[in-house]
């Protein structure tokens, strides 16, 4: 038989899913592995989905998505962050942020174009660049300075083939929230080198230690930025698959064109549920965010008390502690912790080279389970030291 696609064949399976799949076959496992909110979608949002089904909202919508949903998203971005977009022409409803990222990269990139990707980063970033025909260029960030974006490090990686910079803030896996000043410096760099910026802001509402900065709202950023967001995390709507892409018309038009031939539209029922989420579920989001913040503070404090150095995560729902004191690499640490003490975490190495020596722990689970997980990790660390 003729060979299959070499780029896809060379891409390893997701390191996150691997540990999740192993844990699913075991009993009494506390999973801190997958970034899945443990909250159920708020009832009023679920009720809107039920109503939509009962009233026959099982058809296609326009390719761009329901105009009412696009209007609400653009109003939310403008009111919350000062990011101005036109609902009809600069906003496309996607099947989650994942599709939005795929569309963006395939619209922006020609074969061989380079995309700078600060690490540690979400496991899909670099494969999606490769799938779009580009070449990911990783640059490091470090725990010692809170995984801060260093523009001098990014600029050193710029070549004549560089087309874009892809970032997430708040970040998966580190929980790092980039400062307004550092993001402004990134915009200045992009202007100097005429680069596009791709900003994954799916965790924007899950920001605890300061205000979220929307990248495209910064001076000079809008014309070269694609903003990605969605409902999966703050609204606990992972399975509904609703995201959005906001960008200047030239980019949004081409993203919509690809969307027309591939996904066609996000699910109609899910879009109506998202409308409800934006119109009446604000209190539910606030309650969930406050609960995540409580868990964050308890869990990070607990990690430090059992001897794991952990940078303060300013957003998302992940902690990224160092496990170097155990004497184990991150893969071995995660495997032994899972098999011996039934706690599932993700080795930091799957998020790029700077992630080695760390593990990703999601605190999107109930507080009693987090406390039990801390006890189990503490016992495992004692075993490692004997």
Residue-wise pLDDT tens digits, 157-187: 999 999 999 999 999 999 999 999 999 999 9
CB of 321 within 8 A of CB of 305? no
* Average pLDDT of the residues in 121-127: 96
**Residue written as tokens 């190495």?**
349
Give residue 64's pLDDT. Answer: 98
Residue 21 has pLDDT above 80, yes or no: no
Q: How far apart are CA 242 and CA 235, in angstroms?
A: 11
Q: How far apart are CA 35 and CA 108, in angstroms?
A: 28
Residue 343 has pLDDT above 70, yes or no: yes
Residue 22 has pLDDT above 90, yes or no: no
* Average pLDDT of the residues in 351-361: 96
Strands 318-319 and 359-362, sheet pairing: antiparallel
Phi then psi for 346, rounded to 5 degrees? -115, 130
CATH number for the domain whose boundaries are 59-279: 3.40.640.10
Mean pLDDT of the chain: 95
Share of the chain above pLDDT 90, in %: 90
Tabulate helix, strand, coil % of the chain (nearest 5).
Answer: 50, 15, 40
* Average pLDDT of the residues in 249-278: 97
Grouping H, G, I as helix, E, B as strand and the rest as coil, residue 150 is coil
Residue intervals in the chain for CATH 3.90.1150.10: 6-41+283-381
Residue 16 has pLDDT above 90, yes or no: no
The strands making up 225-230's β-sheet, listed across from edge to edge, are 91-94, 243-246, 225-230, 196-200, 162-168, 114-119, 135-140
Residue intervals in the chain for CATH 3.40.640.10: 59-279
Give residue 281's pLDDT. Answer: 82
pLDDT tens figures, 133-155: 999 999 999 999 999 999 999 99
- Using 50, 70 and 90 to split pLDDT, how confident is the model at 13? confident
Least confident of 2-6, 21-25, 126-130: 21-25
Give residue 354's pLDDT. Answer: 95
Give residue 386's pLDDT. Answer: 73
CB count in 10 Å sphere of residue 54: 8
Residue 14 has pLDDT above 80, yes or no: no
pLDDT tens figures, 207-233: 998 899 999 999 999 999 999 999 999
Residue 282 has pLDDT above 90, yes or no: no
pLDDT tens figures, 313-329: 999 999 999 999 999 99
* Average pLDDT of the residues in 358-383: 95
99-128 burial by CB neighbour count: b if 16+ within 10 A, else e? bbbbbbbbbbbeeebbbbbbbbbbbbbbbb
Phi-psi group of 352: left, alpha or beta (phi > 0 → left; psi -120 to 50 → alpha; rest → beta)? left
Q: Cα Rg for the chain, rounded, in angstroms?
A: 21
- Using 50, 70 and 90 to split pLDDT, how confident is the model at 23? low
Share of the chain above pLDDT 70, in %: 97
Give residue 19's pLDDT. Answer: 66
pLDDT tens figures, 56-77: 999 999 999 999 999 999 999 9
Looking at domain 6-41+283-381, its CATH class is alpha beta
- Using 50, 70 and 90 to split pLDDT, how confident is the model at 370? very high
């Amino acid at each position: 038989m003729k060979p299959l696609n070499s780029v896809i064949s060379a891409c390893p399976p997701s390191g996150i899913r691997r540990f999740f799949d192993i844990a699913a076959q075991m009993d009494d496992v506390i999973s801190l592995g997958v970034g899945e909110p443990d909250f159920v979608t708020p009832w009023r949002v679920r009720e809107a989905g039920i109503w939509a089904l009962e009233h026959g909202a099982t058809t296609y919508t326009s390719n761009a998505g329901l105009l009412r949903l696009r209007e609400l998203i653009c109003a939310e971005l403008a009111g919350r962050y000062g990011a101005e977009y036109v609902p009809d022409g600069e906003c496309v409803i996607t099947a989650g942020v994942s599709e939005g990222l795929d569309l963006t990269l395939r619209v922006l990139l020609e074969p061989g174009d380079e995309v700078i990707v600060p690490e540690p980063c979400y496991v899909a970033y670099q494969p999606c660049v490769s799938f779009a025909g580009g070449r990911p260029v990783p640059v490091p960030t470090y725990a010692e300075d809170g995984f801060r974006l260093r523009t001098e490090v990014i600029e050193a990686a710029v070549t004549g083939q560089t087309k874009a910079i892809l970032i997430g803030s708040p970040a998966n896996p580190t929980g790092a929230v980039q400062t307004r000043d550092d993001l402004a410096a990134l915009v200045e760099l992009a202007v100097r080198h005429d680069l596009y910026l791709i900003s994954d802001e799916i965790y924007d509402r899950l920001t605890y230690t300061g205000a979220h900065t929307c990248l495209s709202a910064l001076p000079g950023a809008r014309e070269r930025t694609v903003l990605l967001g969605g409902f999966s995390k703050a609204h606990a709507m992972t399975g509904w698959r609703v995201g959005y892409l906001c960008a200047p018309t030239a980019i949004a038009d081409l993203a919509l064109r690809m969307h027309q031939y591939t996904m066609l539209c996000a699910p109609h029922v899910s879009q109506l549920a998202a409308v409800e989420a934006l119109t009446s579920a604000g209190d539910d989001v606030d309650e969930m965010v406050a609960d995540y913040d409580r868990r964050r503070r308890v869990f990070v404090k607990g990690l430090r008390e059992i001897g794991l150095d952990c940078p303060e995560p300013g957003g998302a729902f992940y902690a990224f502690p160092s496990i170097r004191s155990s004497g184990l690499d991150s893969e071995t640490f995660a495997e032994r912790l899972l098999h011996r003490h039934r706690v599932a975490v993700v080795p930091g190495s799957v998020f790029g080279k700077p992630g080695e020596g760390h593990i990703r722990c999601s605190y999107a689970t109930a507080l009693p389970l987090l406390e039990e997980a801390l006890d189990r990790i503490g016992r495992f660390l004692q075993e490692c030291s004997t």
